[in-house]
């Protein structure tokens, strides 16, 4: 351990040499000295070990400063410097200490003097901090110097170790921050890919529906329009798909320039575009669409060929009294587009109720749905959820089915939105939950996963309502998984976060359904108490065909694993999908490849088997109608 002695008297140098000469260490005295200097956290409190001191002497202050500079350059710093205050004719001890401190902030300074022109406070202000500057009066005792040096040497070692630990921790924090930024960048890139058309870089159908859902919750009138190119198939057939792609790109640019200020222009697929814009009335909206049609009715140059294009538009005007279900708004605009194309093309048609025979059908469905429980037309189906390794059945998703005498089987995709628009969803939801809880007693430990719609989730006293039914059924909360969509939680994120936290505290599982199709972000996902993410079936379908879908699946799996969440892949229908999802790291799988939704009796038998073979004779059937 290196020690610097700065004193202008040669005799004092000899005294320091005697003080640091090898001799038996007085451990108790050294421990008392260290405790007096540093309190209960004394480095000598467990017994100091003998220290070999390497002494360097300087007769003047500037020599001492030079010695510190050289020690720093050599990478062999001094732990302690003993400095005399009066050293004529050079700089005094205060100035020496100040300069040494400026060079080495970690060195411990000991001011040694019989008389000083400076008070300790003055010296501490100039050469502090106060916890690294100490004092010994002349004449001093040998033991006093040795104990002081030993204690400070231990303290210097501890300080260096702590500094290295802080540097290591700082590097690790910086690395974690870098990884976090990289993850956020990957998420942003994946979300951009998921929400934008690769050909035009315009928002895609997913982004359009998301923006439409947001706009529908805001007061004020607006218009939803769908545009379709006229005779686009002829361009593809005559000049090839490259020419067709170029036409799509050019038309997208024209629509962007011709659309009203602030309008959203999205490519919905093929040669179909969507427009969303604020408007004071239906007539103004129709005029705006006619301007877009006029702009598209021009001649395009495609790889040396001249092509005459045109467009048709279907329009729905939304006022303050209109029901604002986004899917229904799009459906009405699509009906108006069909009417425009059937009426001769090149026109903008405003939706009229006579175009929609399905509205009356929906009303009949709603009336029948209100009587479905009393008529015993409802039933439950259960689809297994299996673990990636070993294909162990860990749970079943509960799916509602409705078979009517008038219409036959009705798809959940049709009747669930109708129930959601009315209070029927609460009655149906309670029935589904009770039926699902009833079958658990016949399973040897698996959980049941029950879907809850956004309207159910926003129900007053939702948590108390669920807990009361689960307790009444005698079921442990850990065997119930609550599936909710992104829409349900992001409509009111703060309320949703509190609700999910309470449910998790009580032991319920929480799964975020259809992940990747809504409004998720890394920050938002971290807000909520979740157990797992369910990858939407559309991304699983596209894994083998689209590089974007595979990238999104990998990003979701990586995100889930980084946050300590399980990742359930829905809609698995082929062996290739199983292997790809296993390699990606999805923790659980669900789909027709393993089993179709089944009756409670078949589910009970499969639950007792515990494992599933992984092959299904009907694996090639389309994966529709599995949500209820």
- Which tokens is 65 given? 């400063």
Q: Is the pLDDT of residue 155 over 60?
A: yes
Q: Are 380 and 600 in contact (CB under 8 A)?
A: yes
Choice between 323 and 42, residue whose per-residue pLDDT is larger: 323
Q: Is the pLDDT of residue 251 over 80?
A: yes
Residue 41's pLDDT is what? 53
Which residues make beta-bridge pairs with 275? 225, 265
- In whole angstroms, what is the distance from residue 209 CA to residue 420 CA? 18
Query: What is the share, in percent, of the chain residues with pLDDT greater than 70?
Result: 90
Q: Is the pLDDT of residue 573 over 90?
A: yes
* Weakest-pLDDT range from 6-10, 120-124, 240-244: 120-124
Choice between 538 and 434, residue whose per-residue pLDDT is larger: 434
pTM of the model: 0.49
- Per-residue pLDDT, averaged over 18-27, amounts to 65
Helix (H, G, I), strand (E, B) or coil at 493: helix
> Could you tell me the domains of the chain?
2-165 (3.40.50.2300), 205-355 (3.30.70.270), 360-609 (3.20.20.450)
- Per-residue pLDDT, averaged over 227-237, amounts to 86
Phi, psi angles (nearest 5°) of residue 75:
75, 25
Residue 246's pLDDT is what? 94
Mean of all residue pLDDT scores within the chain: 86
Give pLDDT tens digits for 453-487. Answer: 988 998 888 999 999 999 999 999 999 999 998 77
Residue 325's Cβ-count burial label (10 Å; 0-12, 13-18, 19+) is middle
Q: Which of 369, 370, 248, 353 is nearest to 302 (CA)?
A: 248
Give pLDDT tens digits for 50-73. Answer: 678 999 999 999 999 999 999 999
Residue 468's pLDDT is what? 95
- In whole angstroms, what is the distance from residue 205 CA to residue 200 CA? 13
Other CB atoms within a 10 A radius of the CB of residue 390 amount to 9
- Which tokens is 171 given? 């590097």
């Amino acid at each position: 351990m290196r020690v610097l002695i700065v004193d202008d008297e040669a005799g004092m140098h000899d005294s320091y040499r005697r003080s640091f000469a090898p001799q038996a260490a007085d451990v108790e005295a050294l421990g008392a000295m260290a405790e007096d200097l540093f309190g209960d956290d004394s480095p000598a409190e467990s017994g100091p070990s003998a220290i070999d001191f390497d002494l360097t002497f300087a007769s003047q202050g500037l020599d001492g400063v030079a010695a510190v500079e050289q020690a720093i350059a050599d990478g062999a710093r001094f732990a302690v410097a003993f400095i005399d205050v009066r050293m004529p004719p050079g700089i005094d001890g205060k100035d020496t200490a100040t300069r040494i401190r400026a060079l080495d902030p970690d060195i411990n300074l000991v001011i040694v003097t019989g008389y000083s022109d400076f008070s300790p406070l003055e010296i501490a202000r100039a050469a502090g901090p106060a916890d690294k500057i100490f004092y010994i009066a002349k004449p001093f005792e040998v033991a006093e110097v040795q104990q002081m040096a030993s204690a400070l040497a231990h303290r210097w070692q501890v300080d260096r170790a702590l500094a290295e630990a802080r540097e290591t921790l700082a590097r690790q924090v910086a690395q974690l921050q870098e990884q976090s930024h990289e993850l956020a960048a990957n998420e942003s890139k994946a979300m951009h890919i998921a929400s934008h058309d690769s050909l035009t870089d315009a928002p895609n159908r997913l982004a359009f529906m998301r923006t439409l859902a947001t706009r529908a919750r805001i007061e004020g009138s607006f218009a939803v329009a769908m545009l379709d190119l006229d005779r686009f198939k002829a361009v593809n057939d005559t000049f090839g798909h490259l020419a067709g792609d170029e036409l799509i790109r050019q038309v997208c640019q024209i629509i962007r320039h011709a659309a009203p200020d602030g309008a959203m222009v999205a490519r919905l697929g093929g040669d179909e575009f969507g427009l969303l814009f604020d408007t004071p009335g239906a007539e103004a909206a129709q005029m705006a669409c006619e301007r877009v049609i006029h702009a598209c009715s021009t001649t395009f140059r495609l790889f040396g060929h001249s092509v005459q294009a045109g467009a048709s538009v279907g329009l729905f005007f939304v006022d303050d009294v209109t029901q604002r279900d986004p899917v229904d708004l799009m459906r009405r605009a699509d009906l108006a587009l069909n009417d425009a194309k059937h009426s001769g093309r090149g026109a903008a048609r405003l939706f009229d109720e006579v175009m929609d025979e399905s509205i009356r059908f929906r009303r009949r469905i709603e009336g029948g749905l209100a009587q479905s429980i009393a008529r015993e037309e409802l039933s439950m189906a259960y689809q297994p959820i299996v673990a990636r390794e070993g294909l162990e059945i860990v749970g079943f998703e509960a799916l509602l089915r409705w078979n009517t005498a008038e219409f036959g089987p009705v798809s959940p995709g049709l009747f669930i939105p109708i129930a959601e628009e009315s209070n029927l969803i609460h009655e149906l939801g309670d029935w589904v939950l009770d039926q699902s809880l009833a079958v658990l007693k016949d399973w040897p430990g698996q959980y049941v996963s029950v879907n809850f719609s956004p309207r159910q989730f926003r129900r007053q006293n939702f948590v108390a309502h669920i807990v009361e039914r689960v307790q009444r059924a005698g079921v442990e909360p850990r065997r119930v998984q609550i599936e909710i969509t992104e829409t349900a939680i992001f409509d009111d994120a703060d309320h949703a976060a509190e609700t999910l936290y309470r449910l998790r505290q009580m032991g319920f599982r929480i799964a975020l359904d259809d992940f990747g199709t809504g409004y998720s972000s890394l920050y938002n996902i971290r807000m909520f108490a979740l157990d797992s993410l369910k990858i939407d079936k559309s991304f699983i379908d596209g894994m083998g065909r689209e590089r974007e879908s595979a990238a999104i699946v990998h990003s979701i799996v990586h995100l889930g694993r980084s946050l300590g969440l399980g990742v359930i892949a829905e809609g698995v229908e082929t062996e290739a999908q199983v292997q790809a999802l296993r390699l990606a790291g999805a923790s659980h799988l669900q789909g027709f490849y393993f089993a179709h939704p089944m009756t409670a009796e078949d589910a009970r038998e499969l639950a007792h088997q515990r494992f599933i073979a992984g092959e299904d004779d009907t694996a090639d059937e389309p994966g529709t109608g599995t949500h209820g």
